[in-house]
Amino acid sequence: MAGDFKNKFSITPQYIPKRSKRRSGLAISKVKFIVAHDTGNPKSTAAGNVRYYINSKDEISASAHLFVDDKEIIECVPALTGPPEKAWHVLYSVPRDNELYGANANDAAIGVEYCYGENIDADKAYEKYLWTIAKICFEFELDPQKAIVGHCFLDPKRKTDPVTGLMNSRRTYDQLLRDIVLEYNDCAGILTPKPELILKPDTGAVTVTVKLNLRKAPDTRAERVQELAPGTVINFSGIISNGQPVNNNPVWYKDMNGNFFWSGGVV
């Protein structure tokens, strides 16, 4: 694809051996969409999942292309680090992928697994997850507003991913879809106009209820200044009513030093 994409992170190829149950070696003739997964196995890392897939390569026909956690992005079936191959990440018997994209996910989609759990920094893992999916969109000329679908929407009777993994850090599927578009535009150099922030001067103090990030701007993609622990009391000097919506809540506070924190994490 013409143009450059911001390479924020590196992708490590660690392939499952070819001609095994988990990796057939069959080529994807055209990548048409992306399936967003989570591992369904809290605390399991990208490296741990890939190691399990390699060690059990001849035991079951189930796989994915990439695993993402807070430390690394590992590709175990070629997609971005080699010519894309089929992976077995959605049952052939479910019809929704054909209805939406005119193809089976195993034949035409890249599967990306999100790792989560108390031993994984959710913010860092989420950043890598967004970037990985946006990168796939760029490389295969997919529309980031239309080309991503959660596994739970393709197989709703059996699967809840990536919703379950996202809920682990109080994120939603709708937020994921919006953030992928923002990440794509940023990394592809597509300028998107931002509305002028509406700041209401006000003062007071609130208490942090969950692990919360203090940022340079009222946006989850802005530079992180500090991580605030639950129970922290923080003074504010103003309220932003139109910051980046997080789970449909766009209200942020401005602290006494000109930094910002989301209102959904305080009382």
Q: Which domains does the chain have, with CATH numbers?
A: 11-188 (3.40.80.10), 199-265 (2.30.30)
CB 115 within 8 A of CB 44: yes
Kindly report the backbone phi and psi dihedral angles of residue 230, in degrees, each rounded to the nearest multiple of 5, phi listed first. -55, 140
Residue 41: HSE in the Cβ half-sphere, 13 Å Cα cutoff: 11
Tokens of 91: 């049952």
pLDDT confidence of residue 1: 47
The pLDDT profile of the chain, 267 residues, written as one tens digit per residue, is 447 999 999 999 999 999 999 999 999 999 999 999 999 999 999 999 999 999 999 999 999 999 999 999 999 999 999 999 999 999 999 999 999 999 999 999 999 999 999 999 999 999 999 999 999 999 999 999 999 999 999 999 999 999 999 999 999 999 999 999 999 999 999 988 888 999 999 999 999 999 999 999 999 989 999 999 999 999 999 999 999 999 889 999 999 999 999 999 999
Residue 145 DSSP label: T
Residue 266 DSSP label: B
The model's pTM is 0.92
Report d(CA 151, CA 148) in Å as an integer.
10
Report d(CA 115, CA 5) in Å as an integer.
24
pLDDT confidence of residue 192: 83
- pLDDT digits 0-9 by tens, 242-253: 999 998 899 999
Tokens of 265: 């994490």
- pLDDT digits 0-9 by tens, 72-98: 999 999 999 999 999 999 999 999 999
Q: Name, in order, each residue with C-beta under 8 angstroms of 55's C-beta and a sequence gap of 6 or more.
A: none
Report d(CA 89, CA 77) in Å as an integer.
11
Report d(CA 251, CA 156) in Å as an integer.
32
Q: 77: closest CA among 91, 97, 57? A: 57
